[in-house]
Amino acid sequence: MEVKLAYDGCRNYVLFAFVIFVVMILDGCSRNTITGRSQLSLVPETEVQALAITQYQSFLSSNKVVPATTKDAEMVQRVGHRIAAAIQKYYTEHGQPNALKNYHWEFNLVDSKEINAWCMPGGKVVVYTGILPVTQNETALAIVLGHEITHAVAGHGRERMSQQLLAQGIEVAGNVALSTNTRAVNLFNQVYAPTAQVGVLLPNSRKQEYEADHYGLIFAAMAGYDPREAIPFWKRMEALGGAKPPVFLSDHPADANRIQKLEALMPEALTYYHPISGK
């Protein structure tokens, strides 16, 4: 009898825990404005943006930022602001004009041989000089920034972080600043590029990569850049793979069908394309 009672108690506890688990997942899901996909979102956007500001400033202070008056830095600024304006237009046209109201865009070029670029929550963007020989032109840079900024505005990092929080059983109370939770901060550092020295950078999923390719092409096209430049750019990037691929590729899982998928997306992207006058 005692054994049966113990078994029943254990079963009830497991059932209760399972119900709580399901409730947490359902309660933590939200529908993304851009993609329409339901995402796990256990971390408030305001909290990750607050952490991003701190980490971004720390990164810039400890790295060599290329002066904004140089030709390449001006190009990064120009492309970045055009992409940001295109995204704002896209949101406005889809009935969400205030979706990015807390974004305060910053675009910096950092002197580094590393082939990389990234965007943190809140619109904090860095391009490394090492990626410019691969982009080769302004349009290809727009493809890169469209892709990277999509990861941010589509909440991909926050989604990955939420998945890991759930998997590791880390609780983040809604009324407690994320920065006070050491384990959560460490996880943030694993997800976002500037602080990837802590642990191993968590890669984007193939679903997230597809979304970044898809909407990144649209945003680049809306900004006046020919989305067809994505094909030669990714061919150049993938040609750099090998025993030690660039960080940019390690954070973006290789997909043998990427070029094929990009070509399939091109007709839609081209409907948004209007060349920059005078460019």
Query: What's the pLDDT score for residue 160?
Result: 72
- Condensed to tens digits (0 to 9), the pLDDT of residues 77-121 reads 999 999 999 999 999 999 999 989 999 999 999 999 999 999 998
DSSP readout, 147-199? HHHHHHHTTHHHHHHHHHHHHHT----TTS-GGG-HHHHHHHHHHSGGGTTSS
- Condensed to tens digits (0 to 9), the pLDDT of residues 63-75 reads 999 999 999 999 9
User: Is the pLDDT at 229 greater than 90, yes or no?
Assistant: yes
Query: What's the pLDDT score for residue 264?
Result: 96
User: Average pLDDT in the 41-49 region?
Assistant: 73
What's the CA gap between 114 and 122, in Å, rounded?
A: 23
Max mean pLDDT range (69-83, 115-129, 190-204, 240-254): 69-83
Query: What's the pLDDT score for residue 231?
Result: 95
Query: What's the pLDDT score for residue 208?
Result: 80
Q: How many residues does the chain have?
A: 279
Whole-number average pLDDT of the chain: 79
User: Is the pLDDT at 134 greater than 90, yes or no?
Assistant: yes
Q: Are 119 and 151 in contact (CB under 8 A)?
A: yes
The domains of the chain are located at 1-31, 43-270
User: Is the pLDDT at 24 greater than 70, yes or no?
Assistant: no
Comparison of pLDDT for 232 and 52, the residue scoring more = 232
**Of the ranges 108-117, 157-166, 216-225, which one carries the lowest mean pLDDT score?**
157-166
Comparison of pLDDT for 168 and 54, the residue scoring more = 54
Query: What's the pLDDT score for residue 272?
Result: 98
> Active-site residues: which are they?
148
CA distances from residue 184 to 141, 142, 180, 205, 266 in whole angstroms, order as listed: 32, 32, 8, 20, 39
In the block, which residue shows the tokens 């889809």? 94
Query: What's the pLDDT score for residue 5?
Result: 47
Comparison of pLDDT for 111 and 242, the residue scoring more = 111
User: Average pLDDT in the 149-175 region?
Assistant: 69
